[in-house]
Amino acid sequence: MEGTPGVSYVMPVLNEAGHIERAVRSILAQEYAGPKEIVLALGPSTDGTDEIVARLATAEPRLRSVRSPSGRTPAALNQAIRASRHPVIIRVDAHTELEPDYTARGVATLLRTGAADVGGLMAAEGRTGFQRAVAAAYVSPLGLGGAAYHSGAPEGPAESAYLGIFRRDALEAVGLYDETFWRGQDWDLCLRLREAGHVIWFDPQLRVTYWPRTSWGSLVRQFYAAGIWRAELARRHRQGKSLRHFLPPVLVAGLGAGAAGAVLTAAGATRNWPAWLKAPAAASALVPAGYAAGLVAAAATAPQQLSLPDRLRLMAVLPSIHISWGLGFLRGSLLGAGTTVDTGRRKS
């Protein structure tokens, strides 16, 4: 594979009437000389998404679709990949828009490095005040943290990649996406690629615009499901455990203990407790105050383009993410993921 190999863009689609056209047009606008095709895996949408896709396909012969009855991301991706034909597979999501040079640079990086999968920055942006606050949370030191594709890192080998530009042969050799992971399937796939001797590569010059959820409820449901499936990854894979993944559930426990300690102390219930119990109760009461101070600091140091109302929203968005993810992780650790789905995705 050399020069400008053909590329197949694959995208799972479910209830994306507000985003799908922009996403498809960003693919059609790619400045790449090689052959291109777009394969959409259409889930059981109820918001008019299918009609928009049909209209776009009428005007664009390189766009076609396959049905994905379950609407689950890994199954949809596998169906789209099997229906595609080019040696390079580029995953795209309906909530994303590609920079015009994304394909050309990504394929060049794939060929230059010999990697099996190349990814870049997930550049979250917002059209509304709420989306802007969520976007700021994605890059805040107190926000998601950890992954290079959120906050950036030097170019080089990585644990996982956002979306992904893949060599088809490597993808097929490891069996595509594991359809039992309804969330977190990207990390699992990258692990299997690395275990097979392949390299995952991060290129910070690759930039993908990502539009976050548009409502509180959708955001909370998204991160609750994400926490559950992250715990499922940790249950199944020894390599899936990381200190940063335990911080939100520890925070949830700390906030709960702090609130209880503050109430008991204020009510005088701890007056006759022995010293070895009083000290932890008093210390736990400081956790909510410390966390609140961290939220204020995060809002104060957020990007300059954020307005004061957006900064205040950020102070509410961060605990919404942390607590919902932490509760999800605790639930997933105790009970497993089972058939948990991101119900917010079905309505966003």
The ranges assigned to domains in the chain are: 7-214, 235-335
Indicate the DSSP class of residue 60: -
Q: What are phi and psi of 202, to 5 degrees?
A: -105, 125
The CATH architecture of the domain made up of 7-214 is Alpha-Beta Complex (3.90)
Strand, coil or helix: what is 271? Answer: coil
200 backbone φψ class: left, alpha, beta (φ>0; ψ -120 to 50): beta
Q: Residue 206, Cβ neighbours under 10 Å: how many?
A: 26
The two tokens of residue 163 are 């979306």
In the 8-state DSSP scheme, what is residue 223?
H
Residue 290's contacts (CB-CB under 8 Å, 6 or more residues apart) are none
Token digits of residue 265: 């102390």
Q: Partners of 118 in the beta sheet?
A: 165, 201
SS3 state at 285? coil
Per the listing, tokens 């993808």 go with: 171
What gap in Å lies between CA 149 and CA 206, rounded to an integer? Answer: 10
Q: How far is CA 114 from CA 94, 117, 170, 195, in A?
A: 28, 9, 11, 16
CA 170 from centre of chain: 23
pLDDT of residue 273: 67
Are the C-beta atoms of 94 and 19 separated by less than 8 Å? Answer: yes
Neighbours of 304 (CB within 10 A): 5
Total-model pTM:
0.86
Length, in residues, of the chain? 348
What whole-number distance in Å separates Cα of residue 225 and Cα of residue 329? 9
Structural element, H or E, at residue 121: strand 117-124
- Of 284, 290, 294, 289, nearest to 254 by C-alpha is 284
Rounded CA gap, 175 and 183, in Å? 17
Which residues lie closer than 8 Å to 269 by C-beta, 6 or more apart? none
What pLDDT score does 1 carry? 67
What pLDDT, on the 0 to 100 scale, is given for residue 310? Answer: 93
Return d(Cα 170, Cα 159) in angstroms, integer: 16
Helices 286-300 and 275-284 cross at an angle (nearest 10°) of 20
Sites in the chain below the pLDDT cut of 50: 347-348
CA separation for the pair 87, 3 (Å, rounded): 12
